[in-house]
Amino acid sequence: MTVSQTEYIKQDAATRVQVLSEALPYIQQFIGRTIVVKYGGAAMKDSNLKDKVIRDIVFLSCVGLRPILVHGGGPEINSWLDKLGIEAQFKNGLRVTDAPTMDVVEMVLVGRVNKEIVALINQAGGSAVGLCGKDGNLIKARPQGDEGIGFVGEVNNVNIKILETLVNNGYIPVVSSVAADETGQPYNINADTVAGEIAAALGAEKLILLTDTRGILKDYKDPSTLIPKVDIQEARELIAMDVVSGGMIPKVNCCVRSLAQGVKAAHIIDGRIPHSLLLEIFTDVGIGTMIVGSHLQMSG
């Protein structure tokens, strides 16, 4: 081998190993810690992306982190309502959930979507357990309160016992965003909210929202203006200044609420980018927007 060939092999090896080596401090830092991931959007619709999310979740669990997946239902609910001849209705972006619609939401979310994710994780070598808010009294719901919206709920309280039992024993909990109130009446709850409240109740290391945007953008039309890191106060200011707008407002608010309750970091990342979870968690620069609880955590 010539000197230049040896040099080339060395350099190639250095770039290839860089990313693996960069992961070590994060594996050490996050081992044994709970990471709550809200799974939704494109990453749930596209089967290629779906496989990658599932592999990433199994990866996290394999290296000793404790992932918990929370999911919504989206398109599959509409297609089943359609098959059953029930018209899907929305009011201010919320699904109008009358009793027949709630039946379908529960059947599809808990019966189909949840079990599909569980099966995929298990096929990939993980050990997943599917639950909804009813299981082990995980979540008590209350009505969201808007007139004419039906059984749309909010999280009244979270009982983390069942989740702790599962993650302590190496299981990956997969939670669908349906829960009952005191009387047993089921409600459909926003999955971001469920993820945020679970993360808060567990004092999780991270809340990660998989979305269909790059993260918080300075100019919402320009993906190159991604804001990589802010603290909770700056995140509030970005909302007040209208930099954060539209559908991003409830997402950022959800992050802010969970941080205020003790979650260490909240991340809004792009589920359309393959392996965005691994890129965010195990590299220095990440891939989306990271929101931290206070200025002290801004370095690093």
288 as an active site residue: the answer is no
251 as an active site residue: the answer is yes
Q: Is 26 in the site for ligand ARG (CB under 6 A)?
A: yes
- The structure tokens listed for 130 are 């599917």
- The structure tokens listed for 173 are 């909990």
- For the bound state, the minimum distance from the C-beta of residue 30 to ligand ARG, rounded and expressed in Å, comes to 8
**Spatial separation of the C-alpha atoms in residues 205 and 208, rounded to whole Å:** 10
Q: Is 186 in the site for ligand ARG (CB under 6 A)?
A: no
Which of 219, 183, 39 lies closest to 118, judged by CA? 39
150 as an active site residue: the answer is no
- For the bound state, the minimum distance from the C-beta of residue 73 to ligand ARG, rounded and expressed in Å, comes to 28
* DSSP for residue 214: S
Which of 272, 268, 267, 265 lies closest to 297, judged by CA? 265
Q: Which is nearer to ligand ARG, 62 or 298 (CB)?
A: 298
Count of chain residues binding ligand ARG (CB under 6 A): 13
Check whether 73 is labelled as a binding-site residue: yes
Q: Which stretch binds ligand ARG (CB under 6 A): 6-14, 45-53, 171-179, 281-289?
A: 281-289
Sign, Cα dihedral of 242, 243, 244, 247: positive
Binding positions for ligand ARG, 212-231, rule CB under 6 A: 228-229
Query: Which one of 45, 46, 51, 74 is the catalytic residue?
Result: 74
SS percent in the chain: helix, strand, coil, step 5: 45, 25, 30
Q: Which is nearer to ligand ARG, 87 or 284 (CB)?
A: 284
Q: Is 297 in the site for ligand ARG (CB under 6 A)?
A: no
Q: Is 281 in the site for ligand ARG (CB under 6 A)?
A: yes
- From first CA to last CA, the distance across the chain in angstroms is 41
Q: Is 293 in the site for ligand ARG (CB under 6 A)?
A: no
- For the bound state, the minimum distance from the C-beta of residue 165 to ligand ARG, rounded and expressed in Å, comes to 26
Query: Which one of 192, 196, 215, 286 is the catalytic residue?
Result: 192
* DSSP for residue 275: T
Query: Which one of 56, 251, 270, 293 is the catalytic residue?
Result: 251
- What is the secondary structure of 107-132 as a DSSP string? IIIIIIIHHHHHHHHHHTT--EEEEE
Residue 159, class by beta-carbon neighbours within 10 Å (0-12 exposed, 13-18 middle, 19+ buried)? middle
Please report, as ranges, the residues that interact with ligand ARG according to CB under 6 A.
26, 228-229, 265, 280-283, 285-286, 288-290
Residue ranges for the binding site?
73-74, 95, 188
Residue ranges for the binding site for substrate?
73-74, 95, 188
> Which residues are designated catalytic?
38, 41, 74, 192, 251
